[in-house]
Amino acid sequence: MSARPRIVVLGGGFGGLESLFYLKQQLGDRADLTLVTNKPYFLFKPNTIYIPFGEPPEKYEVDLKSPLNKQGIRLLEATVHQIDRDSKTVETTAGRVEYDHLVVATGARMCIDEIPGMAAHAITVWTPDDMLTLRDRITRIIENARHREHSRILFLVPPNNRCSGPLYEMVCMLDTHLRRHHARDHVTLTFATKEGAFIEAFGPRLNSVVAEEFAERHITGHIDHVVTEILPQSVRFQNSSELPYDLLISFPPYAAASHFSGLPTDDRGFVTVDPSSRRVAGSDSVYAVGDTADFPIKQAFLALLQGDAAGDHIAAEILGRNPDVDFVPTSMCVMEQFDKAVFAQVPLKYTGDSSHPVEVNVTDSDHYKVGVSPLWRVGKTALGYYLPWRFGSGKPFHAGLPWKVMELGLKIMSQTMAE
């Protein structure tokens, strides 16, 4: 090991930046920190849902050069090809990088070709460019509605999608948007999911909220609809049903964004880790956090918690103390609908069953909280400013006085506006 331990983080998203800035805050100049990432900016993916409704994509990009420079963290803009755990090196398009501690946070990718017909016929919601394409299609549908032309829009959650929440947000946002443009009477909205309940990962209370919203908004919802094939104007399902569409919007199946042959993974390339520390199985110096690791639900909030845990375990080792932070899986989100928002705080627990590794801890009523109110939009807006501000200053999300203030605000809101 060199005089100052070399910590290398791969991937400048939620998990990577949270662990990087957490480590900086804990270790100061006691370690050499490097971020290797293939984009010089952080993309605030959760808020790209606003792009189809008119917001500019650049609004959700946070430049990384200036905060890293300010914090004395080296930025290597490169793509990582390989990790060699024996020699403790990473091969990148900009050369070899040596590490003493490594955090892998390279996220997920979309497997659009896994569903026959998806690439040819669906608009997907993954990149800002996808969202701009969707904006064009929505504009056209509103235009058609002015000429009293009817359109059928179908939202589709296929097998192996690991983050269905944004599609539920977007169908409700679209309903409000179409009503505001006097186009709703000319559009049929349908939602079909492979899940056994609406937004299944968040448990029965969210299912009820979504079912009520769908009924109120005249959105037809179908659960247990496993897509088999997408045709030019209809979707076929395993249960022999078929749903028609003029516009199909889907969030494709997930797999790990990059496969590193030196790391143990499951069948979709997600890196196998110890649940609490996020340490990679069979390794004492490599950690994996966020969408690329094997936690079955892929969410920004969970990536941040995992980034904190990995950062703390590395810092503890360097400082010769016991770790203070483990990954305790509690999901939190605020789902936009434009006229109101849904808040959900969802405690999760491990089942020990590999076919169904995680479920909602429904008996933990102190932590399982759900609320629906126009005021929750304030919470969504606050998070939308807070997170880019923290990362743009080179600071972790979950730390310091600003987080305490944010946490207190969320606590007060969840005590008064959620149950």
Ligand X SMILES: Cc1cc2nc3c(=O)[nH]c(=O)nc-3n(C[C@H](O)[C@H](O)[C@H](O)COP(=O)(O)OP(=O)(O)OC[C@H]3O[C@@H](n4cnc5c(N)ncnc54)[C@H](O)[C@@H]3O)c2cc1C
Name the DSSP class of 113.
G
101-104 and 6-10 as β-strands: parallel, antiparallel, unpaired? parallel
- For residue 241, the minimal CB distance to ligand X (Å) is 27
Phi–psi pair at 92, nearest 5 degrees: -130, 170
Q: Which residue is nearest to ligand X (CB)?
A: 13
Stretch binding ligand X (CB under 6 A), from 4-12, 116-124, 206-214, 358-366:
4-12
In the three-class reduction of DSSP (H, G, I as helix; E, B as strand; rest coil), residue 390 is classed as: helix
Q: Is 175 in the site for ligand X (CB under 6 A)?
A: no
Distances (CA, A) of 89 to 66, 269, 286, 292: 26, 20, 11, 19
| Cross-sheet strand order for the sheet of 74-77 | 74-77, 32-37, 6-10, 101-104, 286-288
Q: Which tokens is 247 given?
A: 């516009």
In the bound state with ligand X, the residue whose beta carbon lies nearer, of 122 and 145, is 122
- Distance, in Å, from the CA atom of 38 to the CA atom of 391, rounded to the nearest integer, reads 17
Report the residue from 52, 107, 128, 311 that binds ligand X according to the rule CB under 6 A. Answer: 107
In the bound state with ligand X, the residue whose beta carbon lies nearer, of 145 and 248, is 248
CB 394 within 8 A of CB 73: yes
Stretch binding ligand X (CB under 6 A), from 52-60, 172-180, 285-293, 389-397:
285-293
Q: Is 39 in the site for ligand X (CB under 6 A)?
A: yes
Burial 197-224 (b: 16+ CB within 10 A, else e): bbbbbbbebbbebbeebbeebebebbbe
In the bound state with ligand X, the residue whose beta carbon lies nearer, of 26 and 124, is 124
Q: Is 384 in the site for ligand X (CB under 6 A)?
A: no
- For residue 288, the minimal CB distance to ligand X (Å) is 9
- For residue 83, the minimal CB distance to ligand X (Å) is 10
Q: Is 280 in the site for ligand X (CB under 6 A)?
A: no
Report the residue from 32, 100, 175, 291 that binds ligand X according to the rule CB under 6 A. Answer: 291
Report the residue from 31, 303, 305, 342 that binds ligand X according to the rule CB under 6 A. Answer: 303
Stretch binding ligand X (CB under 6 A), from 267-275, 288-296, 321-329, 396-404:
288-296
Report the residue from 99, 301, 343, 391 that binds ligand X according to the rule CB under 6 A. Answer: 301
Q: Which of 28, 35, 101, 19 is nearest to 312 (CA)?
A: 19
Name the DSSP class of 5.
P
Q: Is 16 in the site for ligand X (CB under 6 A)?
A: yes
Stretch binding ligand X (CB under 6 A), from 153-161, 286-294, 357-365, 368-376:
286-294
- Distance, in Å, from the CA atom of 323 to the CA atom of 316, rounded to the nearest integer, reads 5
Burial 50-64 (b: 16+ CB within 10 A, else e): bbbbebebeebbbeb
CB 85 within 8 A of CB 69: no
Report the residue from 38, 160, 272, 373 that binds ligand X according to the rule CB under 6 A. Answer: 38
One character per residue 73-92, x = contact with ligand X (rule: CB under 6 A): ------xx------------
Report the residue from 258, 265, 337, 414 that binds ligand X according to the rule CB under 6 A. Answer: 258
Q: Which of 275, 273, 276 is nearest to 263 (CA)?
A: 273
In the bound state with ligand X, the residue whose beta carbon lies nearer, of 106 and 283, is 106
Q: Which of 109, 120, 23 is nearest to 73 (CA)?
A: 23
CB 120 within 8 A of CB 169: no
Report the residue from 26, 48, 164, 337 that binds ligand X according to the rule CB under 6 A. Answer: 48
Q: Is 45 in the site for ligand X (CB under 6 A)?
A: yes
- For residue 231, the minimal CB distance to ligand X (Å) is 25
- For residue 89, the minimal CB distance to ligand X (Å) is 15
Q: Which tokens is 103 given?
A: 């955090």
Q: Is 398 in the site for ligand X (CB under 6 A)?
A: no
Q: Which tokens is 245 given?
A: 């569409």
234-237 and 227-230 as β-strands: parallel, antiparallel, unpaired? antiparallel
Name residues contacting ligand X, limited to 316-375 (CB under 6 A). Answer: 333
Size of the site for ligand X (CB under 6 A): 36
Q: Which residues bind ligand X (CB under 6 A)?
A: 10-16, 36-39, 45-46, 48-49, 79-80, 105-107, 125-126, 163, 165-166, 257-258, 290-292, 298-301, 303, 333
